[in-house]
Structure 1
């Protein structure tokens, strides 16, 4: 672990990502709160906004096929950061001009989502060029630990900024973080592998990536598990802030404090993910992480009493869920990197994201509608049960029996 974070190029990229993650935590809290408190959005409109953030992922299949043929993935990561910085920076300006609307919020979410989709497609081959195979889990642990750390301090910082300056002005922090990330990624020097296959149309290359994904014994099972998990998690996520703000009556500062306190467990999960995988096996760790990520949402309707008790329940839910998602993500990301061929990484990750991330807008919309019709509490319980059942896809796959990631090789 020590050798990896002393690698100058990895450390440079890592610092840039850390800044971007902290900025994201501010905007993740600020964007829906702008909709709720400034625009006066309903539960369905909040669901639409959440869906807009992830809707561009539906294009990942084709963006990934295009990125696979680009020789410089690092440059694409820089472009994606700058695109997101510009999109987010428009919100304070429009708010200052007094013309902020839900349409503007959705437009910013869509443009930033396109940048995120491009970044996701370029990241997989860039990561494989930056990090040696036997360091995949370690690198993912370091990057995920930073992400978890941002969930500890980011929401508290975001809540304080929103309460002091207002949610629109707080978005400037996220814009600046994207600009800094672009600068740091630009300083990284890696030897990128040239594209191996220039033949075929974009559609044919995309279709090939999807067929490879669908028939892959590891990737197909992980796709089905992740897609189920993401659908139900976004049913819940579309409602959590609304529930905390309106039903529980918590302020932005209290919500940020609860999210930050709960995220400490996510940081612990990032640090312990590799050790737990060595103890019970990477596959079992992935399954345990999926359950811990989903099940806690059923506890939210139990929050009642004084303000501190409500904050405590919200923090507990975030803690269990944050610990679980780190166990799940770190080991599954490392497994996926190990079993996919270099020449197919972007198109396969694009096909994966089209389904896996593309289901998120649908989950958010369903969450908004069900929250309005059936009530937020029952919808959160349903999301917890549905997400937990996602491990059913792993039972008959080779993932569950996987002990060590470094023993895996790409599958033809």
Structure 2
């Protein structure tokens, strides 16, 4: 067992955070399937309407991530995460309640999705900034790998569970599982006791603080590349995610259980990628690992619309496409997030994370809208082909950058916005 693994195993605060996050990630995966199926099956939405609905989940990243980043640098992050998950539990629980009252409508569902998105922004900005508080820098890759592995494990089991819950209880009532999972996360976060070193907010200007975070991203060569390629990936990912559920239901005639099974099986790639990311980074040059992961992850979506023949062949091909995409994404995410945390001073961590989230998910939101429009205009399968080729273009910034030449992950002392450490 590695030193990093041993250290994390005895880090009770990280273990508590990891446990709560793992449970909530499983709940989120149920919602990721049940919520669009609620819109498709219960409300009979069009591709354009589903695209707009999906965009509401990420629209708050565009407007709120930056001020939330300032808040995360000014205030202790743990209480903010507790508030965010408590509110998310209440909002998710509203959907089955409205369904029982026969009062669920598309505008109400969109408002709930928007509210959940606001809380998600706050939680995402905080947890990515909070991990370096409870984990030392030399263990960041292992810690991020564990969280990513939990996410992939949730992607493996969550959709299958979600599909089963949808078939047994109907889509709106499957969301109860996610509401409960958020409450588990709240309890785990409540039990953590780690002092946080935060700056006093007196005599600070929010606009200047936001500008400091954005300026750091723009001037830091690694962060700049990660922001551009991450935004491009999320645009394409949201494009595919918006169209795939409708494509699977209406063109391929798959039921909720089979859709959940396909997504679950494809998530094995993400689980394997996240599990081995730390080992790969330790054994091979950091930049080479990141580059290979990007090439695999961004090339996988070409298989999703490739086959329309026998059902078994379609299932295998689509699953393989998602498998490769998620495997590459898991490794590149672990490496990329760790690189971001390693080169960013703690006093800028919240604002850096917020700036990256604004760029990545703000642009990703437009991908959901574009997917709905293009899928409605060209057809669902043609829209998936457009997204697949767009994925290849999204990999170009990494191929042209100096990140592939990194021998190891640099530290804050080695890399500043004006310099870089390249092997």
**Residue 36 (structure 1) aligned with residue 24 (structure 2):** no
How far 1:104 moved relative to its partner? 1.6
1:261 is aligned to 265
Partner of 1:235: 239
Report which stretch shifted further, 177-186 or 311-320: 311-320
Q: 18, 21, 42: which one pairs with 2:22?
A: 18
Q: Does the CA-based 8 Å contact 1:288-1:327 persist in structure 2?
A: no
Kept in 2, the 8 Å contact 1:291–1:387? The answer is no
1:201 Cα deviation from its structure 2 partner = 1.4
Partner of 2:68: 63
SS at match of 1:302: coil
- Structure 1-normalised TM-score? 0.96
Q: Equivalences for 1:84-95 in 2 at 5 Å? A: 84-95=88-99
Separation (CA, whole Å) in 2 of partners of 1:307 and 1:104? 36
**Bigger shift: 185-194 or 250-259?**
185-194
Give the 3-state SS of the residue equivalent to 1:40 in structure 2. coil
Q: Distance in 2 between matches of 1:359 and 1:287?
A: 22
* Residues 240-389 of structure 1 mapped to structure 2, 5 A cutoff: 240-389=244-393
Matched residues in 1 for 2:40 and 2:146: separation? 34
Shift of 1:325: 0.8
Q: TM-score, normalised by structure 2?
A: 0.93
Per-residue CA distance 1:295-330 (angstroms, 9 max, x = gap): 222222233344333322222122111111111100
Alignment: residue pair count: 411
Is 1:141 the equivalent of 2:124? no
* Contact 1:294–1:383 under 8 Å retained in 2: no
SS in 1 for 2:59: helix
TM-superposition CA deviations, 1:196-217 (whole Å, max 9, x none): 6744311121112111111111
> In the alignment, is the contact (CA less than 8 A) between 1:298 and 1:381 conserved in 2?
yes
CA RMSD of aligned residues (A): 1.6
2:52 aligns with one of 25, 48, 53 = 48
Counterparts of 1:148-297 in structure 2, within 5 Å, are 148-195=152-199, 198-297=202-301
Please give the alpha-carbon distance, in whole angstroms, between the structure 2 residues aligned to 1:207 and 1:172: 40
Asked whether the 8 Å contact 1:278–1:403 carries over to 2, the reply is no
User: How many Å apart are 1:183 and its aligned residue?
Assistant: 0.8
Cα drift, residue 396 of structure 1: 4.5
Query: Structure 1 regions of 5+ residues with no counterpart?
Result: none
For residue 285 of structure 1, report the CA deviation from its aligned partner: 2.2
Which consecutive unaligned segments of at least 5 residues does structure 2 have?
A: 418-423
* Contact 1:22 1:154 (C-alpha < 8 Å) held by counterparts: yes
Distance 2:229 2:389 in 1: 14
Is residue 301–residue 391 contact of structure 2 (8 Å, CA) maintained in 1?
no
CA contact (8 A) 2:343 2:411 kept: no
Q: Secondary structure at the match of 2:403?
A: coil
Asked whether the equivalents of residues 294 and 385 of structure 1 are also in contact (C-alpha less than 8 Å), the reply is: no
Aligned pair 1:411/2:400, yes or no?
Answer: no
In the aligned structure 2, how far is the partner of 1:355 from the partner of 1:127? Answer: 21
- CA drift of 1:10 comes to 1.0
Give a deviation string over 1:40-96, Cα, whole Å, max 9, x none: 0000011001100100001211221222111x1110011111111111010000011
- Does the CA contact (< 8 Å) of 1:229 and 1:290 recur in 2? no
| Alignment counterpart, residue 124 of structure 1, candidates 123, 128, 138 | 128
SS at match of 2:230: helix
Aligned counterparts of 2:304 and 2:173: Cα–Cα separation in 1: 30
1:395 and 1:64 map into 2 onto residues whose CA distance is 30
Contact 2:305 2:318 in 1 (8 A): no
